Structure 1
Amino acid sequence: MSSKNFALIGAAGYIAPRHMKAIKETGNSLVAALDPYDGIGIMDSNFPQADFFTEFELFESFIDQWHRDGNKPIEYIAIATPNYLHSSHISFALRNGANAICEKPLVLNPSDIDNLQKIENETGKKVYTILQLRLHDSIIALKNKIAKELETNPNKIYDIDLTYLTSRGKWYFASWKGDEAKSGGIASNIGVHFFDMLSWIFGEVEENLVHLKQPDANAGFMKLKNATVRWFLSVNYDYIPEDIKATGKTTYRSITVDGEEFEFSEGFTDLHTRSYEHILNGGGFGLEEARNSINIVSEIRRLAPLVLQGEYHPFCKKVLS
């Protein structure tokens, strides 16, 4: 496979180094990067020769001139910007002759997917999103196991608890991540790939309820075709179980299926590279693959919390008691 040229929008964020690593490890080149923040020494260990811009207009001019000068085309633009900018930056990539590879959540609203599909049709270029959990070996094994069980018992309903806490400091709420209009809120920011994974394995959502909706924690209940899911998501360290705190950890991730813990804590480090390999080999997850999870999180934003009613996640009592 010949080397391809990439550009990157959003080079200074937390996730950008994983995209740089993926571009490098798949044998491709980063031609240009854009970010309003200019303190990104990580460029030196990946693509020190890449052109770098802090202003979108100059980056746009460079991309245009690169093509006019007859250089090898920039075939992919990777997007690792704040969530509310994704749709605009994807559109920019497509209209400038590149395919887009965008971080999750792909967009904030289902209507954005509809608009981007029109631009795909107009330009002949494609949008890919990073749904890395679909490439995790343990999760693929779980999907295969569930699929086999459903072949013999297609009406089986699994009982699932999803608990994910990843501690964030005060900076989080001063940044765009703490602004629901820009990030989509907790469910979009840290939960969307879990919702995608569960609906990918257990079927589409038939019922979606919210019990808790606070800036630092969301919780709710979903009925999927073949599962009921109680979920709790938070960035507040205080809600982490005491035995986990005692180990010094600041993150807690747990998924139980019919009361049995599903272990998938390892194997995350190379998933962006595997995502890029998947795309470059003719696979990848596009707009329609992303739609179900975007429907889920956009509906969560609209729903009023039920508080301690119905089948709520037990961690809700940590917040509301």
Structure 2
Amino acid sequence: MKNFALIGAAGYIAPRHMKAIKDTGNILTAAYDKFDSVGVMDSHFPEADFFTEFERFDRHVDKLKRIPSKKIDYVSICSPNYLHDSHIRFGLRVGADVICEKPLVLNPWNIEALKTVEKEYGKKVYNILQLRLHPSIIALKEKIQNGPKDKIYDIDLAYITSRGHWYYTSWKGDVSKSGGIATNIGVHFYDMLTWVFGAVKKNVVHIHTHDRAAGYFELERARVRWFLSINADTLPDHVKAKGGRTFRSLTMEGDEIEFSDGFTELHTHSYQHVLDGKGFGLDEAMNSIQIVHDIRHMEVIGLQGEYHPLAKGELVKHPFEN
């Protein structure tokens, strides 16, 4: 039974981490968030100590380090993207291994620096790359590996997860803190695509605004048109007609690859993967972090060439622009 500390306990994804800690038979000992809306902890670890000031959380974890039975073994990180690097360093510094939400960091050079910190403290950093553990994606990878070695597949990826105006007031709407749409909601899809189809040979960005991004990859084994959005207006008509707010689609050669189910359990699988000594470390995170960094800094060419059909939707102003 391992002792966990959690940073970012009030966030959207934190309950999945709490559930994963509990379902794998471990204990959440301490948690931190500057916001105190963390009643969800009662459903998982009501005895966990909670802090709204990082300094007091740091002091508490440091004290536990000197009590063998209470020493923190793992620090789980669910904080805003731009704080991951700092919080990972904290975890390593207190002598714990680290499990961090995606994106691991915002820039590829942050990963290189963290490799040095890992060696300094003799601990490991693991990234939640949950799609690599999804049965449908594992089956897809095996199909590609066992198929014709010279075949290049045509892939379309679309992910629309509707968000309200609150999004732009939060850290997620600040590119310097979230990395923008492609980083915030796309990074695990890019990881999945390169894990299955190989490294990026060509990267084109057609659209990159406050509420959507679209582009085209040429991978070693695939040509990929992709589209991401948080604007409900970009949902396909058949989804709108049913009152849906989310659309997730992955097609290969025109055939849908169903992977919508099972997402809520993938964090538990990810934790077990780490506890079994098989977690995805810094090197595994590098490809997707390099991709989102490149997308963030690339010239946007507009709707020309191989763009995703959903990219043709009408562009809108930022809701808070005059």
What range is the shorter-chain TM-score in?
A: over 0.9
Question: Match of 1:284?
Answer: 279
Task: Return structure 1 stretches of 4+ with deviation > 2 angstroms.
Answer: 68-72
**Is 1:208 the equivalent of 2:203?**
yes
Question: Match of 1:188?
Answer: 183
Checking the alignment, whether the CA contact within 8 Å between 2:154 and 2:252 is kept in structure 1 is yes
1:41-56 aligned at under 5 Å gives the runs: 41-56=39-54
For the residues of structure 2 that align with 1:203 and 1:70, how far apart are their CA atoms?
44
**Is 1:218 the equivalent of 2:228?**
no
TM-score, scaled relative to structure 1: 0.97
The amino acid across from 2:174 in the alignment is D
Question: Match of 1:232?
Answer: 227
Checking the alignment, whether the CA contact within 8 Å between 2:92 and 2:121 is kept in structure 1 is yes
TM-score, scaled relative to structure 2: 0.97
Tell me by how many angstroms 1:319 deviates.
Answer: 3.0
SS at match of 1:31: strand
Tell me by how many angstroms 1:72 deviates.
Answer: 3.2
SS at match of 1:68: coil
Tell me by how many angstroms 1:71 deviates.
Answer: 3.9
**Is 1:178 the equivalent of 2:176?**
no
Tell me by how many angstroms 1:314 deviates.
Answer: 1.3
Tell me by how many angstroms 1:320 deviates.
Answer: 4.9
The amino acid across from 2:140 in the alignment is L
SS at match of 2:99: strand
For the residues of structure 1 that align with 2:315 and 2:152, how far apart are their CA atoms?
29
Question: Match of 2:136?
Answer: 138
Question: Match of 1:270?
Answer: 265
**Which of 100, 118, 122 is equivalent to 1:120?**
118
SS at match of 1:309: coil
Q: Structure 2 unaligned runs (5+)?
A: 317-322
Question: Match of 1:301?
Answer: 296
Give deviations 1:203-231, integer Å, cap 9, x for gaps.
Answer: 00001110001100000011000101110
The amino acid across from 1:255 in the alignment is L
Give deviations 1:238-273, integer Å, cap 9, x for gaps.
Answer: 000111111121001111101111111111121000
Aligned residues: 316
Tell me by how many angstroms 1:311 deviates.
Answer: 0.8
SS at match of 1:22: helix
For the residues of structure 2 that align with 1:254 and 1:35, how far apart are their CA atoms?
34
Question: Match of 2:86?
Answer: 88
Question: Match of 1:109?
Answer: 107
Q: Structure 1 unaligned runs (5+)?
A: none
Root mean square deviation, CA, Å:
1.0
**Is 1:198 the equivalent of 2:196?**
no
Sequence identity of aligned pairs in percent? 62
For the residues of structure 1 that align with 2:268 and 2:238, how far apart are their CA atoms?
34
The amino acid across from 2:182 in the alignment is A
**Which of 224, 247, 259 is equivalent to 2:254?**
259
Checking the alignment, whether the CA contact within 8 Å between 2:65 and 2:94 is kept in structure 1 is no
The amino acid across from 2:56 in the alignment is L
The amino acid across from 1:91 in the alignment is R
